[in-house]
Amino acid sequence: MSTPDVVIVGGGIGGLSTAFALSRLGVRVRVLEQAEQFGEVGAGIQLAPNCTRILDDYGLLDEAKARGVVPDRMVMRDAVDGSELTALDLRDLEREYGFPYLVIHRSDLHSLFLEACRDAGVGLRTEQRVVSYTQGGGKASATTHTGTIHEANIVIAADGLHSVARELFVDDQPVSSAYVAYRGTVPIAEADHPVDLSEVVVYVGPRCHFVHYGLRGGDLLNQVAVFESPKARAGLDDWGTPDELDTAFSATCDFVQQRLPHMWRDKWWRMYDRDPIGTWVDGRIALLGDAAHPPLQYMAQGAIMAIEDGWVLAEHVQRLRGTNGAVDWTGALAAYEAVRPEHCRRVVLTARVWGELWHLGGIRREQRNALLRAREIGDYSFTDWVYGPTALFPEDEPAMFAPIPLSSADRVGVGSAGTVAP
Nearest to 388 by CA among 400, 378, 398: 398
198 close to 44: Cβ distance less than 8 angstroms: no
213 is catalytic: yes
Query: Under 8 Å CB-to-CB from 78, ≥6 apart: which residues?
Result: 85, 203, 204, 205, 253, 365, 369
Could you say which DSSP state residue 413 is in?
T
Beta 29-32 vs 220-228: how paired, if at all?
A: unpaired
Alpha-carbon distance of 269 to 278, in angstroms, equals 27
- Exposure string over 20-55, b if 16+ CB within 10 A, otherwise e: bbbbbbebbbbbbbbeeebebebbbbbbbbbbbbbb
Distance, in Å, from the CA atom of 408 to the CA atom of 1, rounded to the nearest integer, reads 61
Neighbours of 235 (CB within 10 A): 8
Q: Is 119 helix (H, G, I), strand (E, B) or coil?
A: helix
Nearest-angstrom CA–CA distance, 105 and 373: 31
Q: Name the helix (H) or strand (E) containing 340.
A: helix 329-358
Spatial separation of the C-alpha atoms in residues 227 and 237, rounded to whole Å: 16
Rg of the Cα atoms in the chain: 22
User: Which of 198, 176, 203 lies closest to 188, judged by CA?
Assistant: 198
Under a CB-based contact definition with an 8 Å cutoff, are residues 398 and 339 in contact?
no
Contact 70, 322 (CB under 8 A): no
Nearest CA-CA partner of 358 in 368, 348, 350: 368
CA atoms within 13 A on the CB side of 13: 25
| Of 179, 213, 298, 387, catalytic | 213
List active site positions: 213
